[in-house]
Amino acid sequence: MRAYIPSRGAVWVQALAVRDITKSFGPVRALRGVTLTVARGEALAIFGPNGAGKTTLLKIASTLMRPSSGQVLLFGANPHEAPHLRRLIGLVSHHSYLYPGLTGLENLLFTARLYGCSDAGARAEAMLAAVGLSGRGGDLVRTYSRGMTQRLSIARALVHDPQILLLDEPYTGLDRQAASAFTALLLTMRGSRTIVLTTHSIEQGVALSDRVAILVDGVVAYEAGNGARDVSTVERVYAECVGVPA
């Protein structure tokens, strides 16, 4: 069941918009006025040093956290006020969100059913196949390798066919082989889904995205579209923004 997507002029084009988002944890201000928009089908990569607020921003966009002020809009509607809109989002975190005591298939079934998918069984099987884990679907997630767990987390994030995929430092802990398999998988989704990805790896980020942004100390320090998107340029700007070599 799809959520109603309003078609209000230019807003229709914006899959995800965050406006003037601030977030304070007591006296500490993690985000100090972040405004970003991502068009439908676009892929945005967000870079930034540790503590810049990347994870906080994704959590707010996915409704896991409430902003101290500011607005989140998914296709023009605010998911913090309309929880059913969470169906539009899939989140891949550095936690796997998988139950080690359940099998791969059970994890996907559980997720698909709770997202309200009527054909949960078929979807779960299909997603397992898509990430190449069909053979291991009946094994407990506890027995999976890190790469397999990562693949299953993506399957879990996609099983309900979300329009928007958010990924929080998904390359953490992946070896080269798993990382390139992961990149290949994401590339198949470019254009059909809106993707927002935070990562430390500028190389991977630039390869996957249409636009980049650099978040430093809770504000957007740099944003660029199709032009200045080669790796060396971005690395140079990043080094300037952060004050140390990337």
Partner 1 sequence: MSALAVVRQLLWKDLVLEVRTREILTAMTVFAMLVAVVFNFAFSPSPQDALRLLPGMLWVTLAFASTLGLSRSFVLERDQQCLEALRLFPFDPGLIYAGKLLSNLLALLAVEILLLPAFAVIAGVALLGHIGALAAVLLLGSVGLVAVGTLFSAMSVHTRIREVLLPVLLFPLAAPVLISGVRATLGILAGRPWADVLPGVRLLVAFDVIFVVVGYLIFEYVVEE
Partner 2 sequence: MATTLTERRSEAARGADWREIVIWAGTALGVAGMYMAILYAPEEATMSHAQRIFYVHVPSAWVGFLAFGVVFAASVGFLWTRRRSFDLAAHASTEIGVVFTTLAIASGAVWGKSAWGTWWTWDPRLTTTFMLWFIYVVSLMVRAYGGSGGQSARFAAVLGIVGFLDIPLIHLSVVWWRSMHPLPVVVSSEGFGSGLPPEMLYALLVNVAAFTLLYVALFSIRRAQMGAQDAIAAQRDDDRRSTIRRGLPGIQEGSR
Using CB under 8 A, which of the segments 4-12, 88-96, 138-146, 216-224 binds partner 2? 216-224
For residue 14, give the H/E element and its range: strand 14-25
Q: Tell me if 92 sits within 8 A of 198, measured CB to CB.
A: no
**CA distance to 65, 165, 225, per residue, from 45 (Å):** 20, 12, 11
Q: By CB under 8 A, is residue 158 in contact with partner 1?
A: no
Q: Tell me if 205 sits within 8 A of 199, measured CB to CB.
A: yes
Size of the site for partner 1 (CB under 8 A): 29
**CA distance to 93, 109, 160, 185, 243, per residue, from 112 (Å):** 18, 5, 6, 20, 44
Distance (Å, whole) CA 217 – CA 237 = 15
Residue 179 CB, shortest distance to partner 1, in Å, is 20
| Among partner 1, partner 2, none, partner that 241 touches (CB below 5 to 8 angstroms by kind) | partner 2
Q: By CB under 8 A, is residue 218 in contact with partner 2?
A: yes
Using CB under 8 A, which of the segments 93-101, 122-130, 180-188, 199-207 binds partner 1? 93-101
Q: By CB under 8 A, is residue 198 in contact with partner 1?
A: no
Among 59, 123, 136, 211, binds partner 1 (CB under 8 A): 59
The encoded tokens of residue 5 equal: 């997507």
Give the other-Cβ count within 10 Å of 241's Cβ: 19
Distance (Å, whole) CA 223 – CA 230 = 13
Number of H helices, E strands in the chain: 7, 9
Nearer to partner 2, 25 or 184 (CB): 25
β-partners of residue 92 are 167
Using CB under 8 A, which of the segments 1-9, 83-91, 198-206, 212-220 binds partner 2? 212-220
Residue 24 CB, shortest distance to partner 2, in Å, is 8
Side-chain-facing half-sphere of 122: CA atoms under 13 Å:
4
Q: By CB under 8 A, is residue 84 in contact with partner 1?
A: yes
Residue 244 CB, shortest distance to partner 1, in Å, is 30
Q: By CB under 8 A, is residue 146 in contact with partner 1?
A: no
Nearer to partner 2, 26 or 245 (CB): 26
| Among partner 1, partner 2, none, partner that 30 touches (CB below 5 to 8 angstroms by kind) | none
Q: In a 3-state reduction of DSSP, which class is residue 24?
A: strand
Q: By CB under 8 A, is residue 52 in contact with partner 1?
A: no
Q: By CB under 8 A, is residue 66 in contact with partner 2?
A: yes
Given the rule CB under 8 A, which residues bind partner 1? 59, 62-66, 83-87, 89, 91, 93, 95-102, 106, 110-111, 113-116
